[in-house]
Chain A
Amino acid sequence: MTRRTVEPILWLLFSSGGVMAALFVPVLLFLFGLAFPLGWITPPDHDHLQAVASHPLTIIVVFVVFVLCLFHAAHRFRYTLYDGLQIKHLKELVAVLCYGGAIVGSALSAYVLLTVA
């Protein structure tokens, strides 16, 4: 019988967050952090971007990317704290802080995304 623990679920979030971070974040950083500000590519005008950003599909995709990246970071940071600082005895506290941070971050990103739209 398969024992029911949350670790596999957390790992799935971590793992898919890693994929998201590797696939989408570099593209977004390149476009909005380098190419547009330095004028390598002509950015779309504000109305165009606003229309793209407030489309429900964009909101969903960007929200999923953010949430998974946050859980990826939380999981990685949790184990870094366990092993790096040798604080496995504070297990519950570390887990609550890390995943709690990811949940708060997810709520914040939902708020930001919805107010932009």
Chain B
Amino acid sequence: MADSITLQVTRYRPEEESEPTIQEYDVPLGRQWSVLDGLNYVKDQIDGTLSFRWSCRMGICGSCGMTVNGEPKLTCGAFLTDYAPGPVRVEPLANFPVIRDLVVEIGDFIRKLPSVQPWIVREEERPVSEGEYLQTPEELDDYQQYSMCINCMLCYAACPVYGLDPEFMGPAAIALAQRYNLDSRDEGSRERLDVLIEHEGIWGCTFVGECTAVCPKGVDPAGAIQRYKLTAATETLKSFLLPRGAR
């Protein structure tokens, strides 16, 4: 096995170039080196001007998402040996504006996320003296997989609908809305429905399913959206058929 591998990294330095360029770096092909380790080697040993985001190195923080050989990946979980003999193409996440090199502007997602209120909404908080909100293991199972989302935005990079129409709420935000809708302690589903029932909410989704395919945490946003479509469609039918008071 060769002892090094070539990274073809997208560079973009807005102060000196108007278009992104590709720069090649040879990095050691360590047996347990991830693409992120390769990038950190470049940053430390070869070229300190390379910019990229990372933090935890263990698939928890969700900040090292990039496009590796055309696929959205957490670079801490993508291993160089799997791409040997290379070269490995490393690009910024698709569908987001690039700030510099591999760093993208995530403001759009950060603004959308709170609009679905991804936290437990209570009509009335119970006083602490009455104890915890209890939940059975079955009630936990209802939402647990959606709670694994780490906001890494790989699903946004993979979603062709989001690429065409940035107004679309997007997979992670809807899956997180569903995570709280399905939580037995939550009472905010009506407020979330008002946001998600808009065309830019769930109806933008055409069920391509790439969000679920690329999710590094095994969340199924595509499934969450389809389930939510059924809820929303049922609510709409009710609003057509029932008088206001009965809803």
What residues of chain A have their CB less than 8 Å away from a CB belonging to chain B? 1-5, 7-9, 11-12, 15, 79, 83, 86, 88
- Measured between beta carbons, the chain A residues less than 8 angstroms from B104 are none
Residue in A3, A5, A83 whose CB lies within 8 Å of B161: A83
B206–A8 contact, CB under 8 A? no
Tell me, in angstroms, the Cα distance from A9 to B247 when the chains sit together.
18
Which size bracket describes the interface of B in this complex? Answer: 20 to 34
B236–A2 contact, CB under 8 A? yes
Interface string of B198-209 (1 = CB under 8 A from A): 110001001000
Closest 3 CB pairs of A and B: A8-B233, A8-B236, A2-B239
- Measured between beta carbons, the chain A residues less than 8 angstroms from B233 are 8-9, 11-12, 15
A2–B193 contact, CB under 8 A? yes
Interface string of B216-247 (1 = CB under 8 A from A): 00000000000001101101111110000001
- Measured between beta carbons, the chain B residues less than 8 angstroms from A4 are 236, 239-240
**Contacts of B180-205 to chain A: CB distance below 8 A:** 193-194, 197-199, 203
Shortest beta-carbon distance from B8 to chain A in Å: 30
**Contacts of B130-173 to chain A: CB distance below 8 A:** 160-161, 164-165
New A-B pairs, 5, CB < 8 Å, besides A2-B193, A8-B232, A83-B164? A4-B236, A5-B236, A8-B233, A79-B206, A83-B160
Residue of A nearest to B164 (CB): A83
- Measured between beta carbons, the chain B residues less than 8 angstroms from A3 are 197-198
Tell me, in angstroms, the Cα distance from A7 to B232 when the chains sit together.
10
- Measured between beta carbons, the chain A residues less than 8 angstroms from B247 are 2
What residues of chain B have their CB less than 8 Å away from a CB belonging to chain A? 160-161, 164-165, 193-194, 197-199, 203, 206, 229-230, 232-233, 235-240, 247
Tell me, in angstroms, the Cα distance from A3 to B232 when the chains sit together.
11
Tell me, in angstroms, the Cα distance from A5 to B201 when the chains sit together.
13
- Measured between beta carbons, the chain A residues less than 8 angstroms from B206 are 79, 83
- Measured between beta carbons, the chain B residues less than 8 angstroms from A7 are 199, 203
Residue of A nearest to B198 (CB): A3
- Measured between beta carbons, the chain A residues less than 8 angstroms from B235 are 2
B229–A11 contact, CB under 8 A? yes
- Measured between beta carbons, the chain A residues less than 8 angstroms from B197 are 2-3, 8
Pairs A–B under 8 Å by Cβ, sample size 29: A2-B193, A2-B197, A2-B235, A2-B239, A2-B247, A3-B197, A3-B198, A4-B236, A4-B239, A5-B236, A8-B197, A8-B229, A8-B233, A8-B236, A8-B237, A9-B233, A11-B229, A11-B233, A12-B233, A12-B237, A15-B229, A15-B233, A79-B206, A83-B160, A83-B161, A83-B164, A83-B206, A86-B164, A88-B165
- Measured between beta carbons, the chain B residues less than 8 angstroms from A11 are 203, 229, 233
Tell me, in angstroms, the Cα distance from A23 to B193 when the chains sit together.
31
- Measured between beta carbons, the chain B residues less than 8 angstroms from A88 are 165
Tell me, in angstroms, the Cα distance from A15 to B234 when the chains sit together.
12
Greatest chain B CB density within 10 A among A8, A11, A79 is at A8
Shortest beta-carbon distance from B206 to chain A in Å: 5
Instruction: Tell me whether A5 and B193 are in contact in the complex, defined as CB-CB below 8 angstroms, given that A11-B233, A86-B164 are known contacts.
Output: no
Shortest beta-carbon distance from B59 to chain A in Å: 31
